[in-house]
Every structure is written in C-alpha cells, then in structure tokens.
Chains A and B, each alone.
Chain A
C-alpha cells in the first residue's frame, strides 16, 4: 500500500475519534492543569502563580490535612473493593460457569441488576435499609438473635466509610463478575475435559486450570476498580453530602475536590484550587496505572489457544 494511501486511511478511520477525544478529554485535562497554576481575586480576575496552589495543597496544614485524610480514606475505599468486590465477583463468575447450573441467566441478571441502578437510588435505598428508625436491618438482625450487633453504621466515624464501601461493592460486583464470566467462557472445553479425565473435581479445575487462565482479566478488573475508586464521588455525596461526615470520616478525593471546586453552603467555590486538587488526583491515578503497567502487566503471560 502506498504511504499516502495509508495515511489517508489512518486519517479516515482514526481522525474522528482523535478529534473527539482531544476535544472532550485531552483539552479539558490540559485546561484544568493550566487553571491550577492560577489564582483568582474577589473581582474574579485570574493571576498566574505557578505551582503555589500545589505548595498550599501539600504544604499548608489547612489543606494538606484534609487532603491526606481524603487520600487515606480513598485507599481504604479501594482496599475494601479489592478485598471484597473482586473475590466475590470471581467466585460468582466461577459458580455461574459451572456446567449444568440451572437458571443461569436469571442469577446473572439478578446479580448484575444493581449495577444499572442510579447511584442516588442506591444511596437512598441503603440509607433507608440501614436507618435505625425505619430500616429493616435492625429487625433482620434481631430476628436471627443478633440484634445487639446493630448500630447506626452510616453515622459512626468508625464504621461509616466501610459501610459506604460495602454499599458500593454491592452495587458494582456485577461488573467483575460479568468480565470474568466472559473470560471463563472463552476457555476451550478440551482443557477442562482433559483435567476432568485426569481426575480433578470442579473446585480444583477452577483453582488450577480456569483461574490462571483468567488472571489477565482479573488484573484488568483491578485496574478498572482502581480508576473508578479514585474517581468515586456520587455515592458519598448522595448519602453523606459534600461535608462527608461524621468529621470527614467518609471524605474521599472526589468529595474533597467537589467542596474545593464548587464550595459548600457559605463556602464559595475556588476553581483554581479545585483544579489543583483535580490535577493531583490525575497524577495519583496516573502513578497507579504506571506502577501497574510496569510491575504487573508486563509479567502477565497470555495463553494463546
């Protein structure tokens, strides 16, 4: 193929996507980074200040304390997803892919359903379920003799963040389940039959044959979880509001960014400082992705069938 024609083809097929991506993703990102090097005075005029916003964010205790608190909470939020959501997703996918399981599509739908609900509805429902006044959680625990374990989980500093993480897990467990399920279906039947002939039971087939083969998918799911968790915002905002109470126990980078950028009640929004927070969030996610690409992705062996 002549070079000119190849270039023309590339432009034809990639051009629109690059243009749209640049307009709606690259440009806002660059604009945000540019905005983070400015500050605005009461009249609304902006002045260039270089990296001063970042110095304030990381150096001034007034900003750095909530920032590190939010980052720490974000790590806990992520850890809960990694330790609960993904193992459950893998287990469910494993169960779903068992041969001879009846009502397969019914289970699949039921478990995927919450993922499609609006976060506001999820937040509202769980708020009601866990409410100490009208919630069914207290009654349900009492019915099985564990009534004394009940506490206003969403309102206590010690439990609010983990409770919110688990609500998020409940909502999104369908995504790792579906991705891993799809990968499991791709495993050639011959491999499994061979294992069966060798005398392995279903559980050991899953552990020794299927799981290693879906590892690339699992690592992909982990990255998706990482990006999603560090961008998370809506669930916490819909249940706890922008102040992410009690005492910022549920404050994550997303809510911290929102408060900074848009303000809250009498606090006016500070777009330039908000842009600085957003930029730092971007670099945290970038760093996480780079670590993943260099340390994990390169070592994953793919099996070609």
Chain B
C-alpha cells in the first residue's frame, strides 16, 4: 500500500537531491545529466576515453536517468542546485525554459559552433534565433526497417509508394508467416512518432507545412493532416494480434526475434536490433502517397548538450562542449551509436549499412522535424501529448481521422493564437 501523501514528494525529492549533491561537484570533474541510459556503456567505454586522450585531467561522469523521468528529475535537481555540470538538452521548449530560467548558459561564443547549420541549431535557440544554448549532437530519422529474409521468402521488394506498401502488407497477411507490420499502441507515442510523424511529412510537405501550422495558415483539420491519420488508421489489420496492449519493448522483441516483416522504426532502434536480430535488415523511407513527387523524411533534431549555469567548473565544461563540435566526436558518436546522426556540417562516414541507408535519405528527400515540437506544445493541452493519445486511438479504431484532426485543432485553438 502507498504510504505517504504525494504532496510531500516534491519536498522529499529536493531534500534527497540536496544530500546527494553535497558529495559531488568538485573542480576537475564533470557530471553529465542525460536521459540516454541505454548508451551509458558507449559513453563510458568510447566517448569519454576519447575525450580524455586530449584532456587527461578532466574527469567525466555520465549519470543518466530513465528517459521518461528525465525532465522531472532534471528540473528538480536544477531547482535544488544539485544538477550535473553538463546537461543533455531535449529539443525546443523543455530546454528553452531552462535557458529562460537562467539555468543554461548561451553557447554562441564556443569555438566550432559555426560547424552547425541553422536548421541543426534551431531546436536549441531562442524563438528569434539569436541565441543558441546547447551544442547540437544528433538527430534521429524515422522510416521503416524490414526483415530482408521475410521479403525474399514472400517475394516482395521495397515499396516506393503507399499503394505498393499496402500491397506488400496484404501479401504478408495472406502468407501468414510474419506479422506484416510491427507497431503497438500501448505506449501511445509509437503511433504518433513512428506513425503520424513518420508518414505525415509527405502529406504536409515537410518544413513548409510545419511552418504554415505554426503561422496559423494551416489547421490540423486540413485534408493533408486528416489523410495522414487515414493512412495510419488503415494499419490496424496488419498489426500483431492484441496490438492495443503491445508495448514498445514488445514491438522491438517481436521484430528482432524475426517474427515481423516490417517495423515502423526510428533510427535509434538500429543499435538495439544489431545486438539482437540474427537476420539481414534493410530500410526504406516512408512510402509516398499517390500523386506526390517530392519525398520528405522526419529527420528530427533530438539531442544536444549545454552547460549548467550554476556549474562550479564551467571552464572544463566548455572544453568538453567544444570537443563535441569536432569531427572526431561526430565520427565516434555516429559509429558507436548507429542511428544517431551527427548534425555537424563536416561529413561523417557511417559504417552500419542500415544506418548509412537511413542517413542517405537526406540526399534524396527533404528533412523536416516533428511538427508538434516547436512552439505548438507550449500550452495546455499540450499538442505532443494530445498527438500521442489521438494517434493511438486512431490506430485502435476508437477515433475517426476527422475527429482526430478536430480534437487536436480544438485543443490548439484554446491557447495558441498565431500572428496572422
């Protein structure tokens, strides 16, 4: 049974953090806050040693939290004055709020910041684009990863258009050996991120549509958004049985065990699959809707790093951030974590073939970021949260595509008044 009253939680957290903080924070050592606890190994065995080759005197501790608790834990530690020196930055508002509260320093003055394009920096800049407060590290790309053996067995090839995609799914369903499309809706975010934001940019023309949405020139009730919902609503018959209770981990297992044909993927899944799957994998970008020629991919700026304004060791922290802008770091990072693509301008050779395929889409398709991330998730209701809920319901068949668009737009209209 639960013991204490939840109200005490905040105070307790702060008190705990205070106690924990007393031991840490001494000069010459840096602590990194991050949500990438999956990567702790790589940071400790590859990235930090590479940095220490140049700066042997700076000790670095990688101290990650669980992804879904990261924001809460980080905010509590920053408010309590016990957060680490280097803060891994979520894109857009979460980090912008930290900068506005003077908990992150600006990084414009760092050497090497000119190695990033404006688009790469956009996620960690003030709305006017004048100040950058985190050094971009990586973006993630969504698309579809498939089991090459399954494709060979059933005799299909990579679909280019949505019609071909549906035909492939239908063929797998008839064959019955594999789950045609691996995705669950239990965790909700998959339906939004690997469903809606994955196939959607082709409909709303990537950055153009995203900008129009922010400017108020397009609405989520417009046909291009409803069409994206219609597409994912059609996936239900091809998903595994009981997909409503299938979690993200279930999906990863199902595919890496070779039981699924196509996996609605984020490039961050590659390293998981490399460790587990025993079959050859390929990847194809979101298939195109009939009648479109340009292709768009969700190439989402996802990770950056900034320096805690209250850090006692800013000199060393800046050295580390400057090192993050170098091609040396980009190369290590891209190859240690295939699927996290560096944002620096200097080209990096990616060894992993699936990762190389996915990053190669940047040449043939136009990149865009998730449309709910910038500005539009600032108020209540929060567009990203709404999108998770609504997308999962659309795939579950509980909400029509039209009603989904309406619910999102109604929520947005409650607090967002774009300048017309």
Contacts and interface: CB of A to CB of B under 8 A. Distances in A.
5 contacts: A27-B11, A42-B97, A154-B186, A266-B373, A268-B75
A246 B384 CA distance: 15
Q: Report the 6 A-B pairs with minimum CB-CB distance, sorted nearest first.
A: A132-B242, A155-B244, A155-B245, A152-B245, A152-B242, A262-B72
A266 B246 contact: no
B250 interface: yes
B298 interface: no
Interface of B: 1-2, 4-12, 68, 71-72, 75, 90, 92-94, 97, 100-102, 184-189, 240-247, 250, 253-254, 372-373, 377, 380-385, 388-389, 392-393, 396, 398, 414
Contacts of B184: 155
A89 interface: no
A231 B5 contact: yes
Contact of A266 (B94, B186, B244, B398): B94
B68 A241 contact: yes
A34 B373 CA distance: 33
Given A62-B380, A263-B72, A269-B71, A133 B93 contact: no
A42 B185 contact: no
Contacts of A248: 389
A28 B12 contact: yes
A42 B378 CA distance: 11
Given A241-B187, A265-B189, A44 B393 contact: no
B283 to A, nearest CB: 23
A144 to B, nearest CB: 19
A253 B243 CA distance: 27
B392 A175 contact: no
Given A42-B100, A155-B186, A282-B7, 12 more contacts: A29-B7, A44-B101, A62-B414, A152-B245, A228-B2, A245-B185, A245-B389, A246-B398, A264-B382, A265-B388, A278-B7, A281-B6
A287 interface: no
Contacts of B389: 243, 245-248
B185 A266 contact: no
Interface of A is mostly: helix
B372 A266 contact: yes
Contact of A231 (B6, B101, B243): B6
Contacts of B254: 133
B71 A32 contact: no
B119 to A, nearest CB: 19
Contacts of A134: 250, 253
A267 B382 contact: yes
Contacts of A130: 245
A268 B94 contact: yes
B8 A267 contact: no
B12 to A, nearest CB: 7
A141 interface: no
Contacts of B1: 172, 175, 224-225, 228
Interface string A271-305: 10011001101100100000000000000000000
B310 to A, nearest CB: 13
Interface in A216-246: 224-225, 227-228, 231-234, 240-243, 245-246
Contacts of B393: 246-247
A75 to B, nearest CB: 17
A279 B93 contact: no
B101 A246 contact: no
A266 B10 contact: no
A188 B349 CA distance: 82
A186 interface: no
Nearest to B70: A265
A269 B242 contact: no
Contacts of A62: 380-381, 414
Contacts of B388: 243, 245, 265
A132 B7 contact: no
Contact of B240 (A132, A153, A265, A271): A132
A246 B392 contact: yes
A242 B92 CA distance: 21
A227 B2 CA distance: 8
Given A154-B186, A281-B6, A269 B372 contact: no
Contacts of A91: none
Interface string A149-178: 001111111000000000000001001000
A257 interface: yes
A132 B251 CA distance: 12
Contacts of B2: 227-228, 231-234
Task: Tell me which of B2, B93, B97, B243 has the highest count of chain A C-beta atoms within 10 A of its own C-beta.
Answer: B2
A39 interface: no
Nearest to B8: A28
B11 A28 contact: yes
B5 A265 contact: no
Contact of A127 (B9, B101, B243, B247): B247
A109 interface: no
Given A231-B2, A264-B385, A245 B392 contact: yes
B8 A133 contact: no
B108 to A, nearest CB: 20
A134 B372 CA distance: 34
Nearest to A281: B6
B396 A246 contact: yes
A156 B243 CA distance: 10
Nearest to A234: B2
Contacts of B398: 157, 246-247
B186 A267 contact: no
B45 to A, nearest CB: 28
Contacts of B383: 266
A156 B94 contact: no
A79 B244 CA distance: 25
A131 B7 contact: no
Given A175-B1, A245-B389, A247-B398, A269 B75 contact: yes
Task: Tell me which of A44, A156, A172, A266 has the highest count of chain B C-beta atoms within 10 A of its own C-beta.
Answer: A266
B382 to A, nearest CB: 4
Contacts of B247: 127
A265 B9 CA distance: 20
